[in-house]
Structure 1
Amino acid sequence: MARTTPMRLVELMVLKQDVGSVIEFLGKKGNFQFQSKRSEASQKSESKKDNADGEVLQKLQQARSFLCVDVPVSEKCLGASSRPDAGDRERAQKILDEVDALRMKEISLSEDLKRVKDAVDEAHSFANLKVPFEELDHLSFLTIRIGRVDSVSLDEMKFSLGERAVVVPLSDSASSDKSKVLVASSKKARFSIDSELKKFGFIGMEIPKDFKGIPDDVLQGLEARLSDTQKAFDLVEEEKRNFAKTHFDMLKSLLVSFTIGSQIIEKQNALESTNLVYRMTGWIPERDCHDMMKELDTLTDGRIAIRVYNPSEVPSVINGSEKVPVKLRHGKIVSAFERMIFSYGSPLYGTIDPTPFVAVFFTVLFGIMFGDFGQGLVFILVGILLAKKILKFGGWGRFAPIFMCIGISSSIMGFLEGEFFANTEILRPVSAAIKGAFGVTDPKALEEPLFSLEFWEAENPIVPIFMIFGITIGLGFVINSIGLIINFFNKLSQKQFGRAFFGKTGLSGALFFWYVVVFAIRIAALKHSPCAADWIIIGTTLFLSAFGEPFERLVDGERPVIENGFGALLIGGVVELIEVVSTYLSNSISFVRVGAFALAHAVLGYIISSMVALAPPPAGIAISVIGNAIVIVLEGMIVAIQVIRLQYYEFFSKFFNETGREFKAFAFEYK
């Protein structure tokens, strides 16, 4: 049986001049998991160390955000890039300086535009107000000053007022007189504005007392200023878009390089070191160890010391303070099912890899519960679209093989049952042939769709129902048995011989389970009469399963054999006896749900088919499409959950007595 990937612990002594190159090499290989022995306090102190590349990366990300560009980075792109050099740092600084200049220009124009818009809106709100102009100063937040100032001093006055006020020339563009201006500011700034205006010889203009509202030339001047400011702001936005377009490739390259550089420095800060030498230890798959060490030796021109340890030679593993990380190695199809394993827990290092069994069981159980040739083809299509990245839905692309597997199994079961998108007419000949193979002889039953009401009327419904449930319980017996076998060999490999032979999931529990099942089949099918040997075997295996703890301790050399006294042993054994019987019974009966869901799926298909037949053609097509879509999505989810539940509680519970640690290699990632 396939086991978890053999691992080795590698210790590297690297000179300071080579540490960056070595970490970059390990990050790109993506198969080296650093061994962490640092305390929480040391991790906090290390996180405060300088990371120049990390600071530049943060600024580049801010620049990317300002330019409103998305920079997708693939693993291939990370692998093809390298940490930043002097040229990269110079290019990064140049881009940051140019972006900062654009940002300041945008901020300045944005604020100017807001002030002018406020002034225009305020002026328009009082343009038709039938009160003297001189009273407007008391009615609004806007302070307006209209007057003359020497044109020579105009630019200097604008600079002095800065962002506190809007200065609008009121003279006609063709006129030689450029001295007439309007100054608008917020109410709270009017006193400081008046003081500034006096410095430049501003002379206020008298507005006729009987003049009402806002003068037209004032409104025209404000609107002209607003138009000019808006154009200037739009030009900056266009400049931003052009800059982002022309510098996209360079920005992407720099983001990737400084991502790598910042993670190298972060990892370097976490290593044990002296002034000249860095020490790094980590786990690596055995099959990659030799080649990687040769590459590291070449990379550093021999300036590296390497030591390789078997897990059995590592003190922290021997004393139980550290678990060897677990890596599973599979092809593309089986590897898609790995997350089902690790979502429950990691197997222990050196134990049997259950992933191939999970892949087979999940595929078969799903197909039995969701048998429809057409709906299965939909799952296959979804899997192909996910694999080709035509259909993008988060990180679901890695589950494309699962969709294809369950699609194939559903299609096969649907073909055998004669069901195509809930229609039993298209594959009727196939359905009739299958029913004939199972002993159905009534001509009427052979002509009727499988699981239809007419079929049940023609044949005794109890027989096929019990046949379906019997098949699924038998499948559950196989799955439970494989789990028990895996547990037995796992315990032997861990040298836990007591637990391998005794206890509920040990060999004694397995023998009790198997013999009781065979015993029941012999009585039901072969009319076997129970004898003394049967009861002796059942009683002995049940006793060793329920009262197995002292035998486990005896075989494993643990003392005392009866740890908490005979009374505690007796009470615990009785409870365990009840649990052994109830657990194996429930684990077997639980697989009845597989048959129940298969029947429910067939009934749903029959309902959809009947509704389609009763409706006129256009409505029938709509009912068929909507009904099948609901079944594919909702029932597909329910069936998947039930299959996972059966794997977790019936299969994994047999051998997942203790979980290990998943192998998580150091690799560069772009966030």
Structure 2
Amino acid sequence: MAKTAKMRLVELMVLKEDIDEVVEFLGKKGNFQFQQKLELNHSISNPDEDILSKLKNVRSFLNLPDVTTEDLQASTRPSEYDRVLCQKFLYTVDVLQKKERDADDELKRVQDAYKEALSFSNLKVPYSELDHLSFLSLRIGKIDPAIFDELVFDVGQRAVIVPLGSDKSKILAATSKKGRFSLDSELRKHGFVNMEIPSDFKGVPDAVLKSLQQQVKEKTKVFENIEEEKHNIAKTHADFLKKFLCQFSIAAQIKLLENSLESTDLVYRLTGWIPEADCHSMMTELDRLSEGRIAIRLFEPNEVPAVQAGEEKVPVKLHHGKLISSFERMIFSYGSPAYGTIDPTPFVALFFTLLFGIMFGDAGQGFVFLLAGILMSAKVLKIGGWNKFAPIFMAIGCSSMIMGILTGEFFATEGIMKPVSLFITGLFGESRYPILEMKFWESANAIGIIFGIFGFTMAVGFVINSIGLLINIINKFSCKKYGSAIFGKTGIAGALWFWYVVIFALRIGFAHHTPTTFDWVFIAVTLFFAAFGEPFERFFDGEKPAVEGGMGGVIIGGAVELIEVVSSYLSNSISFVRVGAFALAHAVLGFIIEKMCSIAPAGFAQILILIIGNGIVVVLEGMIVAIQVIRLQYYEFFSKFFNETGKEFVPFAFTYK
């Protein structure tokens, strides 16, 4: 049986001139877990983090897609040349951002003035009443044409200056009500002479409207040109920006980590755990990167004082292929196996796939899961962080399809799978359909079908429980906890009691066995050591005192444990009846869908019922079955050996947030 990966503690003494390169190597390698928990201090100055923040703002401004953590793997920290290029790029975009802001403000100001003037253009009221406009405050007068441009510059965005003649000797100044005092002050500085407007003059002059309209067009054109320039920069510099984001993300994380490491003026000290299989290649590469200037020391876990004292746990790493590794999160969500113990992931993968297929037996619906898994694996179907579970979808899809072939179910319809069933059974003798009868309500042997399914699923449960017990016993012997391996509910004593009682019951039920004295003695002895095994465990494991709490405490504790042993093994076995119950329930749901189709009008109505019915079954029952399988794994399987948990291996790696 495969065990957790062997680990080594490595101590690195790195010169200051090499620390950037070493940290970058460890972060990209992704298999070095720091021994101590580092307190990352974001308050310390980090120029690379400031540059990264600016680059993120640029990405948002240019409306370009963000980079991912995976993109960092193909990148490196920036060189000095990259830093120069990045600063030039940031300056270029900063100038463009300022131009866009100014053009946008100018356009909005002119548009507001034009809209309000336009709204009053058809009002034939005396000009003197225009002072009552809510937005505009107007001034008309004379000015020296030579200082027109100077006036426009000095007024800036506070007002709109409109020339009323070709020589710019007469102007109209428009501003907001709150800006009229500032406008009057500027006009006086530039020798503005207010013109007397006839009291009977009515309406906003057409020249004013045309001038404002022309300014709107001009400012719009300016803004559009800037947007076009922005689009061109985004198009031509997208790769550069992606490169800079990755580079400075790595650089910022390197500097953040270095600020938290033990160091002197010349040397940094790094200690962490790495898998033994990677030791030689990593140390060789580190020596090459530093040109021999690095000091490396390796330690076995039992050579680490903190591990010997029980103050530190060796991190646990599991080695699997793509299929089995997709089930690892199911393990770690419950707890990490202890270091050096059996890796339960392959068993979890097998049992999850098997139990799901039994409870969800339909070839068509299983194909939906298989297809979903294939599309998720190919990244055609993207469902957040669920794509990493694509192999699980493919596995349960295949098991459901196999069970569907056995039961003759295909999208809750009958008969489609008949040729397949006849062909398969014909290879082994007499042809029959279905291979496995599930529709007990249509059979003369309904009780036999029901009990046969329940008996099979309880047999599967017996195997799962037994493997859990064997894993626990082997783990205890590996950890040299001989007392726990031999005695107790999940030790050899409890396992022998469980196995013998099951075999004993089967012999009585099917072989008409007559109980003997040996049977009762064996059951009693194994049950005694399973229930009253604590003092024996403590004695064999070298714990003192062996009898903790006196004989009275041992007797009371043993009596309670006696009830626990019997009830837990009974419930652990009966719990797997639910697997058969869900398998029968799935068959009933298929029958209901099929029956609804038979009574519905032929054509579209039947197709609609099939689609909706199967959709409900795939989504809702698929979720329920998955939850039930996970529950069986957690409470019936894991409970046998997960009495001591370890610490998951979480290596240092660059991430992008």
Distance 1:422 1:261, change over 3 A: same
Deviations 1:217-249 (A, max 9, x none): 222222222221122111111111111111111
Quote the residue 1:590 is aligned against. 575
Report the counterpart of residue 598 of structure 2 in structure 1: 613
Deviation at 1:72, TM superposition (A): 3.3
Secondary structure at the counterpart of residue 159 of structure 1? helix
**CA displacement 1:314-369 (0-9 Å, x = unmatched):** 11111111111111001111111111111111111101000000010011011101
String of CA shifts for 1:192-224, please: whole Å, max 9, x gaps. Answer: 211111111222333332334433222222222
Question: Is 1:214 matched with 2:204?
Answer: yes
Match of 1:18, SS state, is: helix
- The answer as to whether partners of 1:424 and 1:450 remain within 8 angstroms in 2 is no
Tell me which residue corresponds to 1:342: 332
TM superposition score normalised by structure 1: 0.93
Which of 365, 368, 390 is residue 378 of structure 1 equivalent to? 368
Alignment of 1:221-232 (within 5 A): 221-232=211-222
Deviates more, 1:227-236 or 1:199-208: 199-208
* 1:440 Cα deviation after fit: 12
Q: Which residue of 1 aligns with 2:156?
A: 162
Change (3 A) 1:589 1:195: same
CA distance in 2, matches of 1:276, 1:538: 69
The sequence identity of aligned pairs, in percent, is: 63
The superposition leaves residues 41-64 of structure 1 with CA deviations (integer Å, 9 ceiling, x where unpaired) of: xx26x4333322222111111111
Q: Is the 8 A contact 2:67 2:245 kept in 1?
A: no
Q: Which moved more, 1:465-474 or 1:128-137?
A: 128-137
Cα pair distance change 1:457/1:239, threshold 3 Å: closer
Residue 237 of structure 1: aligned partner? 227
Aligned residue in 1 for 2:99: 105
1:463 aligns with 2:458: no
Trace 1:331-370 onto structure 2 (pairs within 5 A).
Answer: 331-370=321-360
User: Normalised by the size of structure 2, how large is the TM-score?
Assistant: 0.95
Match of 1:307 in 2: 297
Q: For residue 52 of structure 1, what is the amino acid of its counterpart?
A: P
Runs of 5+ unmatched residues, structure 2 = none
Report the Cα distance in structure 1 between the residues aligned to 2:37 and 2:377, rounded to whole angstroms: 40
Counterparts in 2 of 1:368-407, with a 5 A limit? 368-407=358-397
The structure-2 alpha-carbon separation of the partners of 1:166 and 1:539, relative to structure 1 and needing over 3 Å to count, comes to: farther
Q: 2:56 aligns with which of 61, 75, 90?
A: 61
Change (3 A) 1:600 1:431: farther
Q: Which residue of 2 aligns with 1:540?
A: 525
Q: Does structure 2 retain, via aligned residues, the 8 Å contact 1:484–1:510?
A: yes
Task: Confirm or deny: 8 A CA contact 2:162 2:171 kept in the other structure.
Answer: yes
Distance 1:131 1:538 in 2: 111
Aligned to 2:551: 566
Distance in 2, Cα, partners of 1:130 & 1:573: 104
Contact kept in structure 1, 2:69 and 2:654, CA below 8 Å: no
Gaps of 5+ in 1: none
- SS of structure 2 residue aligned to 1:92: helix
Q: Deviations over 1:445-465 (max 9, x none)?
A: x6999444xx63441211100
Residue 51 (structure 1) aligned with residue 41 (structure 2):
no
- Distance between the aligned counterparts of 1:597 and 1:434, measured in 2? 26
Q: Deviations over 1:555-591 (max 9, x none)?
A: 1122222322333333332222222222111111111
Q: Where does residue 619 of structure 2 map in the other structure?
A: 633
Q: Is the alpha carbon distance of 1:69 and 1:220 closer, same or farther for their aligned partners in structure 2, counting shifts above 3 Å?
A: same
Residue 67 (structure 2) pairs with residue 72 (structure 1): yes
Give 1:468's aligned amino acid. Answer: I
1:4-83 to 2 correspondence within 5 Å? Answer: 4-36=4-36, 43=39, 46-73=41-68, 75=70, 77-83=71-77
Which segment drifts farther, 536-545 or 641-650? 536-545
Give the Cα–Cα distance (whole angstroms) in 1 for the partners of residues 122 and 554 of structure 2.
98
Distance in 1, matches of 2:587 and 2:289, equals: 63
Aligned 8 A contact 1:417 1:430 in 2: no
The letter for the 2-side match of 1:656 is F
Alpha-carbon distance between aligned partners in 2 of 1:377 and 1:167, rounded to the nearest angstrom: 72
Distance 1:310 1:576 in 2: 39
Question: In 1, are the aligned partners of 2:143 and 2:170 still within 8 Å (CA)?
Answer: yes
How far, CA to CA, are the matches of 2:437 and 2:325 in structure 1? 36
Change (3 A) 1:424 1:145: same
CA distance in 1 between partners of 2:614 and 2:406 (Å): 19
Given that 2:106 and 2:219 are in contact with CA atoms closer than 8 Å, whether structure 1 keeps it comes out as yes
Please list, as runs of the form range in 1=range in 2, the aligned pairs for 1:411-426 lying within 5 A after superposition: 411-426=401-416
Aligned to 2:130: 136
Letter in 1 for 2:586: H
Give distance in 2, aligned partners of 1:590 and 1:438: 34
Matched pairs, number: 656
Deviations, residues 519-546 of structure 1 (Å, cap 9, x unaligned): 2111211122333322222222222222
1:581-617: CA deviation from partner (whole Å, max 9, x where unpaired): 2211111111111111111111111111222222312
Structure 2: distance between partners of 1:498 and 1:158: 94
Name the CA distance, whole Å, in 2 between partners of 1:212 and 1:503: 105
Q: Is the 8 A contact 1:81 1:256 kept in 2?
A: yes
In the aligned structure 1, how far is the partner of 2:422 from the partner of 2:291? 74
Runs of 4+ in 1 over 6 A off after TM superposition: 432-441, 446-449
CA, structure 1 residues 62+353, in 2 after alignment: closer, same or farther (shift >3 Å)? same
Measured in 2, the distance between the counterparts of 1:289 and 1:541 equals: 46
For the residues of structure 2 that align with 1:593 and 1:213, how far apart are their CA atoms? Answer: 86
Q: Which deviates further from its counterpart, 121-130 or 637-646? A: 121-130
Secondary structure of the residue that 1:81 maps to in structure 2?
coil
